[in-house]
Amino acid sequence: MGFTTRQLQALLVLAGLFLISIVIRRIEIHRDLPQIDPVLEARFIAISDSLNSIDPKSRTRKASVRKFSGPVQINTAKHEELQRLPGVGTVLARRIIEFRKKNGPIKDASQLLKIQGIGKKKLEKMQSLIIFNDL
């Protein structure tokens, strides 16, 4: 072919570098991705959920139910007010309102035990935060 020794050495070096680059590329492709730290993943999800709750038009948080901010008048409280009680979510607030409509004013804490979803433990947590008197 007419290559000098120096040219053959250069070709061999280039061919060797080419093969090494192919091997390195294959190793990188088949290497496992690093594991995600579960704590960091949970924080990321919490931050993401928090950001998703912001209304981009008003730059304020969407209306969300805040937990307890004062005593709740159980017989006149609206859905959102009932949700401020510990352990009371959307479904349980609806059940309390339905119970009031069906049975009239709630006179004492023992009546709340008749509502599905309110047991002794939950009642203990919210009893001191409820006012039973009609206004």
78 occurs within a structural domain: yes
113 occurs within a structural domain: yes
The total of structural domains in the chain comes to 1
> Structure pTM?
0.50
115 occurs within a structural domain: yes
Confidence (pLDDT) at 39: 72
Cβ-Cβ contacts under 8 Å for 54 (sequence gap 6 or more): 60, 61, 62
Cβ-Cβ contacts under 8 Å for 130 (sequence gap 6 or more): 71, 72, 74, 85, 109, 112
The pLDDT-based confidence of 75 (bands split at 50, 70, 90) is very high
Q: What is the CATH number of the domain that holds 93?
A: 1.10.150.320
Reading the block at residue 56, the tokens are: 């981009």
52 occurs within a structural domain: no
Pick the residue with more confidence: 1 or 70?
A: 70
pLDDT digit string, tens, across residues 29-67: 777 766 777 777 777 777 777 776 666 665 555 444 445
101 occurs within a structural domain: yes
Pick the residue with more confidence: 134 or 2?
A: 2
79 occurs within a structural domain: yes
22 occurs within a structural domain: no
Residues of the domain holding 103: 72-131
9 occurs within a structural domain: no
